[in-house]
Structure 1
């Protein structure tokens, strides 16, 4: 009896992306120009980008990446892509002007989101979120894409590439040798050469090499996404199945009555201000402000969730349904805006009594931005069309951050605390020490010993970023001010 050979077991290959969202790619090749441009972006990052120093290196690296991704493509970018790229670079440019580390973190994170939108696109909430993480799914595709491209290079192209690197190396050696000899022969020429030659000091060479490789790989990934773009909007859930009118209108009506009753009963509390705090036992300004802020966050999450569910479940074929959606959701947004206005008033009252801090200012700006989001939701509800809403919310966040950078938050906080000190004689020097170099011009107005105590830590921070590619306008201005008026001894911390 013969035994049939065992058949190989076929395993079903799983896909990380649903069908039609991002098709498999076995044919595309990476052009040589893209690879060289990505290597150039990695070199720029390795030489100029210092992650812990807020400076111009971020803008230089971002510009190199943008040029490598878009300039090597024959198709011109769309108007939306051009605006997104310029906006992303504008956010990175903030790091060349302001020195606040927390503001720099916000700008870099938002620049990543806007840059991902420029490459991948996305018109839905799901599309914007998925597009922001699309780069993390490209390594295997980019490796195969680059490998196929390199295998297509002709031997003449490879030789010419080696010659380019060889000529560059020989030129650098000649300039270094003869430039050093001429500089040692004449002091005036050495001074002119030092002023004309950019200084690039490569410290932590291993870390710089790793950083350059990561930026090079990320640039290749962005270039690949621009040419083989996944349909991230296809990941968005489809329209929900409408339910009967009373099933969605009745809960919304009850919720509106609850909101209306809360606003009516608590009207004195919402806008009571000083009188409510002074006439209420065991109530402080801090509790008054924080209570309003957490109310805002809770109401924000509830309202956004209710609107999302209602828009999926509410039928809008008949005129009465569309009218109910506009009235019920519109009233919910309006009542939420009342609570937003209350929270803003509470935080303003808190700041006027206890001074400004980064957290308090950031909370206030967030509250105002959330109020703007509710206005956009209200407009979308009245028009019964919200396809533009995700991009509008992202755009409002970008405009808010750029406006915050123009205001110069740390300098504003320091100025308000100095003015409060001039009026009341009270100041928290220990907190002012934690501000960035943006606050130096305002803190320089303080009398001694408060001035020296507030600037004690910052006098060491201004010495960072001395290289040209780490330029920061706020740090340079602070360095000049402290050089003209040195910081004295700080024998005590005034508060």
Structure 2
């Protein structure tokens, strides 16, 4: 018998494992724990307060109350936040509080938009531009992911022995909602029942109830998304990688040095403007006030924008391997930032001359504020250039914008505009009554300084707006309250010039 030849054993040599690459980009597993009973109750109460308090058509104290309710609910969700997050949350409350003391809608709109950004930074403790942008988007995406997270928390609290307080809260909320909905329907169906409810409960309009019922689920979902993001914020891969520079020293130093020389020539010409005063403008062959100011404004925008791009590109890609590289960066980019500050000063001066000639408006005041803010930004760039560290600049720019808006609210721009135009009228007899009548109630104390006829022609539109749109507790506003009291003591007379 032939003995079978044993089969050769197949030996497989394993391939060497591929090196593990470090994680890149965002990682967002979400919270590692369910929301507690206190967090759930806080979210429901905060959404209810905001839905009842927010005055969607104007500035008022309701925005401040809603913002505080949201921040308190988020603080209950997670208590171990950094002081940076606490500072940005305080800035958010301050921005929303502007609507309690100022009536100008344009100013409050800017404050609300900025509050959205500062609130996003507080949620994710953002430090870079990328993280700030992510902070604006992630709570929206987190609203969808938060629904099962909140559902798990509710089921866990209701199923356990410790769920008694949660059960009471849920039963109370459901009972209140049912009584509110059916009570409103019964009141609208029967006059006698409506009178009974009026005597037994505070006066609540059906429109306010309907608005609150629509806003409540939307605000609750938004707050749940913010709580989900705060409880389990995303992480960013910050693995150190070798720095690669796109330029050699001469690649960027020569163009920037030439640009510095061009700035020096331009600033030398601007010295004549800065020290020449109105003689340069009003002298023979000089530009008109309009061309003078508008040229300065667009000049500032163009130069500032291009300079920021140049500084960003050079600061990001210029080599700094040795001392000569670092000195070159500090000298050339620092000189560029300093020269741009002179341009900012020139443009601010131009706008001031224009305002002295033609009066103050909201646009002109806002442009001046933006110019001053950009000057502070370039000072921050100079500091970053000296340290050769600019990671803090995005937060610094947002902080500058926030402080600038709050300072503008303290200045009270609509009243400032009215005061300066009244001063100009007293000195020259020239005034734009139509424009002044378009200002908000903030301007009423200044407009009261005008003679009776001019006062009537500027204040009648403000008075009509206050009469036709009375404030309730949601839209309580200090400026409008003071304006109504002033108009009660001194009513607006008939305008004898014109009325549009």
Please classify the TM superposition score into its range, dividing by the shorter chain length: 0.7 to 0.9
Contact 1:49 1:58 in 2 (8 A): yes
TM-score, scaled relative to structure 1: 0.86
Work out the CA distance in 1 between the residues paired with 2:470 and 2:47. 20
Corresponding residue of 1:371: 375
> Which one of 151, 159, 168 corresponds to residue 160 of structure 1?
168
Corresponding residue of 1:108: 112
The answer to whether the aligner puts 1:397 opposite 2:401 as a matched pair is: yes
Work out the CA distance in 2 between the residues paired with 1:118 and 1:280. 56
Tell me the CA shift for residue 87 of structure 1. 1.5
Corresponding residue of 1:486: 491
Corresponding residue of 1:268: 272
Work out the CA distance in 1 between the residues paired with 2:245 and 2:106. 44
Work out the CA distance in 1 between the residues paired with 2:236 and 2:94. 26
Contact 2:25 2:237 in 1 (8 A): no
> Which one of 361, 386, 390 corresponds to residue 386 of structure 1?
390
- Post-superposition CA distance 1:89-126 (Å, at most 9, x none): 11111110000001101111111111111111111122
Work out the CA distance in 1 between the residues paired with 2:244 and 2:141. 29
> Which one of 332, 336, 360 corresponds to residue 332 of structure 1?
336
Work out the CA distance in 1 between the residues paired with 2:499 and 2:342. 40
Corresponding residue of 2:207: 203
Contact 1:126 1:233 in 2 (8 A): no
Corresponding residue of 1:360: 364
- Post-superposition CA distance 1:2-45 (Å, at most 9, x none): xxxxxxxxxxxxxxxx9551334496433333232222122112
1:236–1:453 Cα change, 3 Å: farther
Of 440-449 and 462-471, more deviation after overlay is shown by 462-471
Contact 2:100 2:477 in 1 (8 A): yes
1:485–1:266 Cα change, 3 Å: closer
- Post-superposition CA distance 1:156-193 (Å, at most 9, x none): 636434443477689999xx9xxxx9xx99xxxx9xx9
Corresponding residue of 2:10: none
Corresponding residue of 1:14: none
TM-score, scaled relative to structure 2: 0.85
Please give the residue correspondences for 1:336-355 in structure 2 after superposition, counting only pairs within 5 Å.
336-355=340-359
Work out the CA distance in 1 between the residues paired with 2:64 and 2:492. 32
- Post-superposition CA distance 1:253-297 (Å, at most 9, x none): 111112112222454245543112112537211110110111111
Work out the CA distance in 2 between the residues paired with 1:344 and 1:268. 15
Please give the residue correspondences for 1:292-307 in structure 2 after superposition, counting only pairs within 5 Å.
292-307=296-311
- Post-superposition CA distance 1:400-428 (Å, at most 9, x none): 11111111110111011111111111110
Tell me the CA shift for residue 242 of structure 1. 4.3
Work out the CA distance in 2 between the residues paired with 1:347 and 1:51. 35
Corresponding residue of 1:321: 325
1:170–1:336 Cα change, 3 Å: closer
Corresponding residue of 1:80: 84
Contact 2:28 2:235 in 1 (8 A): no
Corresponding residue of 2:429: 425
1:60–1:445 Cα change, 3 Å: same
Please give the residue correspondences for 1:202-221 in structure 2 after superposition, counting only pairs within 5 Å.
202-203=206-207, 205-221=209-225
Contact 1:239 1:312 in 2 (8 A): no
Contact 1:358 1:413 in 2 (8 A): yes
Corresponding residue of 2:51: 46
Q: What are the ranges of 5 or more consecutive residues in structure 2 without an aligned counterpart? A: 1-22, 185-191
Q: What are the ranges of 5 or more consecutive residues in structure 1 without an aligned counterpart? A: 1-17
1:138–1:162 Cα change, 3 Å: closer
Please give the residue correspondences for 1:6-85 in structure 2 after superposition, counting only pairs within 5 Å.
20-25=25-30, 28-73=33-78, 75-85=79-89
Contact 1:444 1:451 in 2 (8 A): yes
Tell me the CA shift for residue 468 of structure 1. 2.0
- Cα RMSD between the aligned structures? 3.1
- Post-superposition CA distance 1:199-256 (Å, at most 9, x none): 6545254443222222211111111111111236869999552422111111111111
Work out the CA distance in 1 between the residues paired with 2:431 and 2:412. 20
Work out the CA distance in 2 between the residues paired with 1:265 and 1:64. 55
1:19–1:471 Cα change, 3 Å: same
Contact 2:361 2:417 in 1 (8 A): yes
Corresponding residue of 1:285: 289
Work out the CA distance in 1 between the residues paired with 2:150 and 2:499. 61
Contact 1:418 1:446 in 2 (8 A): yes
3-state SS, counterpart of residue 48 of structure 2: helix
1:224–1:95 Cα change, 3 Å: same
1:328–1:165 Cα change, 3 Å: closer
1:128–1:355 Cα change, 3 Å: same
- Give 1 or 2 for the bigger CA radius of gyration: 2
Corresponding residue of 1:137: 141
Corresponding residue of 1:444: 448
Contact 1:46 1:211 in 2 (8 A): yes
